[in-house]
Structure 1
Amino acid sequence: MTEPEIHTWWPYLSIASKNAMQQVLADPDRGLPVLICEEIEILTGAPVRPDRRLTQAEQDFIHTQQEMVD
């Protein structure tokens, strides 16, 4: 199964999901929470495996997309 590409869903994730993603980035081996997988499916129309983990490239993409907030 081909996973949806990160640029098709990251910009559209809810703020709550983007905040929850910080825990995933802190421990990428734990995988994505079910609620984030479900949100990605809604956004893209593509199924997401329940054991989905971020690739290094996806982690790098998220880091470059995050805005610095003072």
Structure 2
Amino acid sequence: MDSSNTLPPIERWWPELSISAKHSIYRDPRGELSASVLNEISGISGSDSLTAPRRLSDDQRDYIATQTEFVD
């Protein structure tokens, strides 16, 4: 992954990400992140504006898999 595609550490933004943004990622975890998801990540993490295309790394997808909580 080159540095232009690097996201802030997932531990900083995943817990605060909205349900709709998480659902967007769940639908296609290997796909490009939408502009709205990137804007939300940027706002939560305090990072400069993140531009597309960006994708989750294997480690980030693994992290999400360990953080998933199923709700009845």
CA distance in structure 2 between the partners assigned to 1:68 and 1:4 by the alignment: 25
Deviation at 1:49, TM superposition (A): 3.2
CA distance in structure 2 between the partners assigned to 1:5 and 1:49 by the alignment: 16
Deviation at 1:18, TM superposition (A): 0.9
User: 1:7 maps to which residue?
Assistant: 11
In structure 2, the gaps of 5 or more residues are: none
RMSD: 1.4
Alignment of 1:56-67 (within 5 A): 56-67=58-69
Moved beyond 4 Å, runs of 4+ = none
User: 2:70 maps to which residue?
Assistant: 68
TM-score by length of 2: 0.81
- Superposed CA deviations along residues 24-53 of structure 1, whole A, max 9, x for unmatched, are 22xx1x311110000001111113231111
TM-score by length of 1: 0.84
CA distance in structure 2 between the partners assigned to 1:54 and 1:8 by the alignment: 14
User: 2:21 maps to which residue?
Assistant: 17
1:39 aligns with 2:43: no
